[in-house]
Amino acid sequence: MMFTQLPNEILDDIIKHTLPEGFESVGLTCKRIYARCTPFIDRHRELRSRFQTFRYYLRPRGWNLTSASDMIMLIAAEPVVVRYIRGATFDSDSRFLRRQLPKSVPSIPDGGPVVELFASSTYLKQANLDWKEYYTAFEEDVREQRYSQHGAAFLLTLLPNIEKLILPRFWKPNDATDKLLEAVVAKAKQSTSSLAAVTRFEEALSLGAEVRFDLRWASPFLALPHMRSFRGPSCLALEDIPRSLAFRDSHHIAETLQAAHLISCCIDEVGITDFLKHTPCLKTLRYWHCTKNDSPIQDWDICKFVNAVEREAGSNLVQFSIRIFELHGSIVPGQASLRGCHRLETLEIPLELVMCNIAAATSHTTNPTEHHVDLIPTSVAQLSLVSKGTDHHEEALNALFGHFHSMHDSQLPALQEVIISCLNSADDIYKDQCDRIVKEASDKGVVVRLDLWPLMVRFVWDGEN
């Protein structure tokens, strides 16, 4: 019997099961099938509008979804909901709990769809976790009106079509949720299952957050089979805190990751080495360093950090940004080079890095220019130089562009565009140097723009939007 000749009752059941992935295609099959689809169209549009890009919310009236427990209860009652979710911003999980009436989930003896979700979970079984113990911990969190790591992790086992994931702000894995997440990742690598379609992952801490996110918490997500982009503000990965390192003592490899945006982070050369050794396809790396008042380290060896990047990722990086977002200590003296990054096209550096090379070269030779020009690869087409325009940074500009006419063709032959920070508060001698570079560069066909707002994003960075 042909599909279009099936009885209406069977057609209706089939149409329900096509929501949402195949619903629109089935509706275009013929006039009769479209007529059977018509009663489902409004519901399809409502669910797509409400859940395709999902975030928690609290509304004066209607169904409020403010935590993982709310979502789990909704999914248990209406399973089709999870298939609509393509992007999930879970950062506000449990932030609104104190502003609404207390909720609860059924106890194990009461049973029901929510309990059955846990009892039948293949992920809990694969992780060798007792579902009753796991559910009891989840139930207690809900009863006490607090964020539930057990609930947040279990919710991730229910999302087959999600492509973009932002973790809860309170995410802090424990032994049980670590095991559960390992089971999710293992299954995602083997078949089309929960989280298997994720291409972009973010953790939710803000740039000003005092809480740090151990980079190791990200490693299971980065190992998902189609992961492409990672954004991690306020991450920590330091040699003195081994548990913070992303991949140490881990079997994970982030084989497909191409872009990492580590903003307002505190990562040393050991931490970035550990990260880059396990991200063999990384093409874009943005790193903004931040040491807060309570940071375990204050001084930063930026040269060792840069040299680690060149050593571990020099063969594949196309875009690299390194900035000083907030520093309470000092820059450790040293010498850095990125000349080994032969594919690098877009580069952003602070002029403090150039000043390190000037100081190192001055101590070894009477002609330091050759040494610090060596910092920038010949392949770079877009160059951004970040500075407050003080602390003799005009010397850094002079070292890079003092002989622009003669050095352009040999040292920077691919250069097309330069952005230089030039704040209103910069020293006059620095501003004069900027103006001179604009004129000399234009004679060589290189566009130089002076930037009054150095924290603005001027170049297009892969994986950021």
Give residue 118's pLDDT: 97
Give residue 455's pLDDT: 63
Cβ atoms of residues 394 and 429 within 8 Å: yes
- Using CA atoms, how far apart are residues 428 and 433, in angstroms rounded to an integer? 9
Give residue 420's pLDDT: 95
The three-class DSSP label of residue 50 is helix
Give residue 462's pLDDT: 93
Mean pLDDT of the 272-293 span: 94
Give residue 205's pLDDT: 67
Point out the least confidently predicted range of 110-124, 175-189, 203-217, 406-420.
203-217
Q: Is the pLDDT of residue 381 over 50?
A: yes
| Strand pairing report for 53-55 and 87-89 | parallel
Cβ atoms of residues 421 and 388 within 8 Å: yes
| Strand pairing report for 164-166 and 229-231 | unpaired
Give residue 373's pLDDT: 55
The rounded mean pLDDT for the chain is 86
- Using CA atoms, how far apart are residues 2 and 320, in angstroms rounded to an integer? 57
Q: Is the pLDDT of residue 35 over 80?
A: no
Cβ atoms of residues 232 and 434 within 8 Å: no
Token reading at 391: 């602390």
Phi/psi of residue 285, each to 5°? Answer: -135, 120
Give residue 308's pLDDT: 98
Point out the least confidently predicted range of 38-42, 164-168, 269-273.
38-42
Give residue 1's pLDDT: 44
First to last CA, the chain: 48
* Long-range Cβ pairs for the range 428-433 (8 Å, 24+): 429/394, 430/387, 430/389, 430/390, 430/393, 430/394, 430/397, 431/389, 432/394, 433/394, 433/397, 433/398
**Position 343, amino acid:** R
> Which residue would you say has higher pLDDT here, 279 or 452?
279
> Which residue would you say has higher pLDDT here, 338 or 11?
338
Read off the pLDDT band of 47 (50, 70, 90): confident
Give residue 371's pLDDT: 42
pLDDT tens for 121-168 read 999 999 999 999 999 999 999 999 999 999 999 999 999 999 999 999
Give residue 369's pLDDT: 47
pLDDT tens for 287-310 read 999 987 667 778 999 999 999 999
Read off the pLDDT band of 372 (50, 70, 90): very low
Read off the pLDDT band of 368 (50, 70, 90): very low
Q: Is the pLDDT of residue 29 over 50?
A: yes
Query: Longest C-alpha distance within the chain, in Å?
Result: 91
